[in-house]
Structure 1
Amino acid sequence: MRYRYDTPQHSESNGERLAALRKRRRWTQATLARETGYSLAAVRAFERGRRSLDRGSVILTFAKALGCHPTEITGQPLAPGDEASQDAAAAVSSVHRALLRHGRPARPTDDEAARVDLTGLQGRVREANRLRSSAALAGTAARLPALLRDAQVAVEVCEAGDRRVAYGLLASAYECAMQYLYTMGHSAAATLATERVLWAAEATEDPLRALAARWYQAGEFLAIGEHDDAADIIEESLKALGPAKGPEALSLLGAFHLKAALNAARAASPAVAEEHMSAATAAADQLGVDRNDFELQFGPTNAAIWSVSLPVEMGRGREAVRTAEYVTAGLPDDYPPERRSHYFIDMGRGHWYNGDRDKALAAFLEAESIAPTATRMHAGVRETVRTMIRTQRRGPVLELGIRVGAL
């Protein structure tokens, strides 16, 4: 498909939304600079789009100062522009409705109750999560509403041990819904899904399953910049895990260290971030293989990917690019597309921070080729590409800008 790019329509940038939020508070740029610790020149550059407002830690600093949610700056959820993204977004309302019905009587029909099959339901949950991690979001969207309904019915009609199994399947289905909603930019609905994951995981009476749900809970606090709360949840969970016994516990331990590293990076605590990253790498080395316990994708490959993502979060473009030279060469072709695409997004941002526009664009295009919808719906890609376009308004960068809604 060819895209016209002679007269693109304008869409708001993160900087323009930041300026509007500041004016809503009746603050001057100088006031915003004082409240956030950024220079007046930096605030002006962000608002005018001369400086890319895409780093999580920077967005969170402005959001906390202005008393708003980070998505009020990033503009999520984005309107899907292409047909595949529209298909992927088609189930958002139905999934949200299923989440709202959590805990209410399912009132299954006789046929629904008779059709409850935990083995079949397990296969359907596994397939939905496989599609999501494969970045086949339209396929995920097509399956989720009925899957959530059937898992809720199973919890209601099963008894004793089967009910605990049903709760585990419901927790996994909610996790799939949560990840899907986050990818599509619907953070409020995704937060609701996370609460449902916590509730269902506790009902399984499986300590590791319940701790895995806390990993997602920590992410909720991290996403809104409540770093102390996120750190408390992570530290409590690491303490509960203790010396990890068995590969499942070890992979969960490593995943918590990665989450702690990201939390510290966004809280401007680089030394703490590096300490947790080292602990995660040690756990991955001890594990020796990539695992997918509780859909957390932990192992040597994911730890290597994070060794690039973490410096990007801290704005260290040169370090990210240098590390990526080794990571890219060893990245398995069969690693889940969702994670591979996100890696190339981070690599693109690293090149951008390092001042290499061409390599940044090449990395974004590679991410798009792996997972088109996930890349086009990524707020950081959109904002970085928007900034790139300001000085180069023709060719592939502009075409990408149209696809991601940066214009």
Structure 2
Amino acid sequence: MLAFLTSVKRRFFPHPPLTHSARSELEADLGGLLADDPGAEAVIARCTQWLCLAQDKSASHDGGVARDYSLLTGWATSYPETTGYIIPTMIAMARRDDDAGLHARARRMLDWCVAIQFPEGGFQGGKIDATPRVPVTFNTGQILLGLAAGAAEYQDPRYLDAMHRAAAWLRDTQDADGCWRRFPTPFAKRGEKAYETHVSWGLFEAERIAPGHGYGAAGLRQVEWALTKQQPNGWFASNCLTDADQPLTHTIGYVLRGVLEAHLLSGRADLLQAAVRTANSLLGAIGPGGYMAGRLDRNFSPAANYACLTGSVQIAHCFFLLYRLTGEGRYLGAGRMLTAFVRRTVRLEGDDARTGGIKGSFPVNGDYGQWQYLNWAAKFCIDANLVEIELANAGSLGAGASANATANA
């Protein structure tokens, strides 16, 4: 009888009941954004503190970063994929603030990633306790970003070896046309993924650290394949975790960043032009106050009634990189609108786990990361705001200015 009642409850009540924090957060979101933009420096500081807390509070207590803090269920276990690409952000903050504690945190993340790598070089999908535990292309590419950054920063042969094994596994499991099909994630809808240009970025970083192994060439093959999915207006087919007809701005941000990184590695003008096609259409998707719908259809029209905050700051970062490459002020303005919107969703005061976190959706009950503060949302928010500050400090940058200095920010 108990088992029957449990199954009924799971079927008709799939989520735990709303907590007081969930209700109050939703009420606040429905009331609108914070009245004032707290500014980039304040948000960077708070988001960094939140990531440190997420590492300390991970339910698996292993040195990785908790996937999320849920207003319904609390802290999750560590998430290898995003811990991997949080590492470059943690290193950037450690260097910026001359903070030995942040360097130590980055090394704990690196040591954990090395410890959980499969012998063949790949990494698992999902949280550390997820099943099935199998190597996944996308997750390996994201962790590769961290391994490359760690190998460069700390000159530790363990990180360099792990980087080579991950990069070689990706290179050697790629199909002839450049797509990766053999090791998909079991936690997303099956099918080809254009946004694995973000895997290619990991290979580009490995190429910069250790040229001559074919890592960069493999990444460029995938980007060229992904561009066969790009429509004339810049929209990408096969580019979402769940709904390829209405992709998340999160995966749009992934695919765009990968194309930009391909241009930065190769200098190829056609890749920059491809990025510009997507970016120009995204400009028209930004609404009043910097709001961008969390899903966009093939015409870049809104397909959701919430903002995917992760996607907004990812796309903002791409706009900033395009501004540095082209000198076109409209990219700078669009990026600033998007980051300002996200900053006005961040709770800066208080002593609970919401403070400094970035929600999956705004309002918090949106479909993406529902009721959750996501570790990668905080990471991408820090990254975008760091570049915005650099641009402000540098003043007006001319066309063609290098984005390499902030490519891993």
TM bucket (normalised to shorter chain) is: 0.3 to 0.5
Find the structure with the greater CA-based Rg: 1
